[in-house]
Structures are given as C-alpha cells and as structure tokens.
Amino acid sequence: METIRTRFAPSPTGHLHIGGARTALFNWLFARHHGGSFILRIENTDIQRSTEEYTRSILEAMEWLGLDWDEGPYFQTDRMEIYREYAEKLYKSGWAYYCECTPEEVEQMRKEAQAAGLKPRYNGRCRDKGLTPGPGRVLRFRSPQTGTTILNDLIKGPIEFDNSEFDDLVLIRSDGMPTYNFTVVVDDITMKISHVIRGDDHVNNTPKQILIYQALGEPLPRFAHVPMILGPDKKRLSKRHGATSVIAYRDMGYLPEAMVNYIARLGWSHGDQEIFSIQELIGKFSLENVSASASVFDTEKLRWLNGYYIRQKSPDELLPLLKPFLNKLNYPQKPDEYIKKAIATLQPRCATLEEMAEAMKFYMTDNFEYDGKGVKKFFTDQLRPLWRIIINEINSMSHFDEEKLEAFFRSLAEEKGIKLRNLAQPVRIALTGKTASPGLFEVMDILGKEEVVRRLERAYCLFDQQG
C-alpha cells in the first residue's frame, strides 16, 4: 500500500495568503484522510526577498489554522549540500552542462529569437563546449529537444508539452544558489513526496520538473494542480479585492474554524453541504471532488460562516478570543462574568470578533454619543414627566431582573396609554446611545440597577435639547 506524503512549501517573501492557505489545507486534508504525513518546507533560496519575519508569520498562520505538520519545517538554505550532490549527478551523467554566457548575452539571444518569431530562449551555445565549473558559470539542464512530456494531472487530466519548447534551464546560478525548478525536485525526491498538490500557476513548471526526475532516474510523484482563486470581478485574487493574508483575517476577528471551512469549499465540494467540522473535512476530502474551474472568493459568504461559528461557541470559549479586541479599544476593565453575559446578547448580531468588540462599547463604558435622530424622535414633551417615574420606580426595585423590568414598562405604557416602543426606545438610547441593541430588558439586567439609574439620570438633559 502506497505511503501518502504531501507537502506545503511556501516562500517567506510575504505573509500566507488565502491561495497558499488553501493549498496547505488541501495537502493537509489529503494526508490526514489517508493516514499519511504532511511535511512543511520553507523555500527560502530567494535570499534577497526571504525574511525571518515572513517565516514567523507563515508558521503563525499555519498554527492558527490548526494545520499541524508531521515533519519540518525544513529550510532550503540548510540543504545546499544535497542540491550540490544532485547537481553533480546530473553533470556527470551528461544531463547538465556548464555555461559561460553572461546574462547580457542570454538576454540578446532571447531578443533575437523573439525577433525571428520564435519563443525567447537561450540558444544552447555552450551545450557541447564541455566546460567545467568556473567563476561566473552556471549549470544548465540539457533539456531534450525532441519528443513530448505528458503531465497526468489528477485534477486537470493529461496535458501534453512539446519538448522543443523548453529552454535549457539554469539549475545552479553563478553565485552557487540553486534555482526553484531544481530544488523542488530534489526536495520532493529526498522527502519521498507521493503527491504534489499545488496551484495551477505551476502547471508550466511541471514538465520541466518531470524531465529532471527522469534524468535522475527517479519515479514521479502524482501531480494535482488546483485552479486559482478569483476576486468578485473574476480576476486573480489580489490586494485590490481587500485583505488577502490569513493573518489579516485573524486580526479582523475571524475564527480559524470559519476560515478553514470556507477555504476548503473554494474549489472542493461534497454534495450541497456548506458547513463542515474539521473531522468531517478529513473524512470526506478527496481530489476527485476538487473542481477544475477557478473559484470566486466571497467575503460576505466568509462573514456569514464566521457568524455561524461565533454563535456555536459558548461565551466561555469566546471570552479569551474577544479580550485582545476589547483591549485594543482601550475599554475599562470589567469582570469576566459580566463580559460573558454581554457576549451572549451580541452573538446573534455579530459576524466577527472585531464587530463584537465594537458593539460591546455601551456595556464597557458610558463614553458614547447619543443617536441624534433617535433623540429628536423619542425624547418628547409627553415623555418628560414619565422619565422621573421610570427612574424612581427602577431605583426602588428590590428585585432587578428582566421579568420585573418588562412587567413595569408594559404596565406603565398601558396606564399612560402610549405604545411600549415609545417608552422603550428612549430608554434604549439613554443606556446604549443607539436605537438598536440586544433586548432592552436583557441589557438593563446586565448593566445592573445602579448603572441603569445613573445613565437614565444623565440622559434627562436630552429633553432640554428638544426645547
């Protein structure tokens, strides 16, 4: 039975974006579904652009998503001896040769080919010179000039490439650094990767890599190229469509469960099911159900899913997740039990933790502005004499709870012949600053009698503003 080994191999030249996260997730799910291994490899041979900060950010995003790895992280910069060993194999077997052409000369060759209506490429000047290693020389792959290479893709099906189209690609640069198409093959061979699942922007790299596998006499892994993710305008997802990094969504108050569920559904499906637990995803995931068509990233769908997961959690679970967002807004400290009660009233109304923290303002502080239109509409001369009755009655209550408060307000509205809404709305504005909030009597119960009375007293001045 085949041992399944997948890998995710990001370059630390930026934060982990949505497309990369989906690639990581599909590899992780495939490995977990088959009881295999998931390997994390950091492809950091681009010394100029790779940073420690981005490496940390990628690892942090992976951990936040819950995508644990069985091996790694391996760093390509620690594997230079291995690349040199495999480069030597190709050189000694005649599959690679040294080239002394300067970058300027190669560029001229490309321009001449293009001017002749051909594909811009290196013209093979040093192919048969028999050069040995030396300063300024690169090691090139001796690509076959005839025949075809077939990629049997698990998602896209068979794709045929004409070998005459391929350049003699550089394996080792003049500074001794190996190139992407070479290192990825060596890494996947030595790490015994069985399935390479990656974005379809790599399709054109794959036949070049297949030729290197064949030159080394190594068996091919199975390839599966996942279609790209598009923005709402059907163009490739980018910063112009909003946040693209996983960390940015975490910092906006999205939950990892929602993000994993959402990106799993970007190009993969299981019937009409929309909501999946992580165990369900592991159990149901297969490459057969990955679409060959591009997917559209829909922020509203992600918000809806995040709201669902927020509602599924208990206030106890949400409290530690919400606290960093509360601290960011510099609210006064409140007891945990108080905050948990407030959370329960806001769960049905908020799609993200950031929204919940902002909506929590009236629970945490009375430093808010009153809704001007609401004040004008509800703080009427008819209500003014009743305001003192409301304050006095609430102040005298020995049992202050939702049921007692609702009974009092209904009774007062009936006695005075006015709609309950015309009593409740100005009180809501006095307590929260808004005309919309969780249930009024629920809010009053959480704020407590003393705070409710204090806020009602403070709001009395709003009648004078109507003068």
* N residues, the chain: 467
Q: Where are the beta strands (DSSP E) in 49-156?
A: 71-75, 96-99, 138-141, 148-153
Contact 225, 199 (CB under 8 A): yes
Q: Which residues are annotated as a binding site for ATP?
A: 239
Residues 6+ apart with CB under 8 A from 99: 122, 125, 126, 131, 137, 138, 139, 140, 168, 170
- Residue pair 126/168 in contact by the 8 Å Cβ criterion: no
Best CA proximity match to 416, nearest among 382, 393, 377: 382
129, 192, 239, 328: the catalytic one is 239
Chain mean position to CA 371:
36
Instruction: Give CA–CA dist 411/423, Å, rounded.
Output: 11
Annotated binding site: 99, 101, 126, 128, 239
116 phi/psi in degrees, rounded to 5: -90, 5
Q: How far is Cα 215 from Cα 244, in angstroms, rounded to an integer?
A: 39
Q: What does each C-alpha distance from 235 to 17, 156, 227, 229, 232 come to in angstroms?
A: 16, 20, 13, 8, 7
Say whether 239 is catalytic: yes
Instruction: Give the Cβ contact number of residue 2 at 10 Å.
Output: 9
- Please state the residue numbers annotated as binding site for Zn(2+): 99, 101, 126, 128
Active site residues: 239
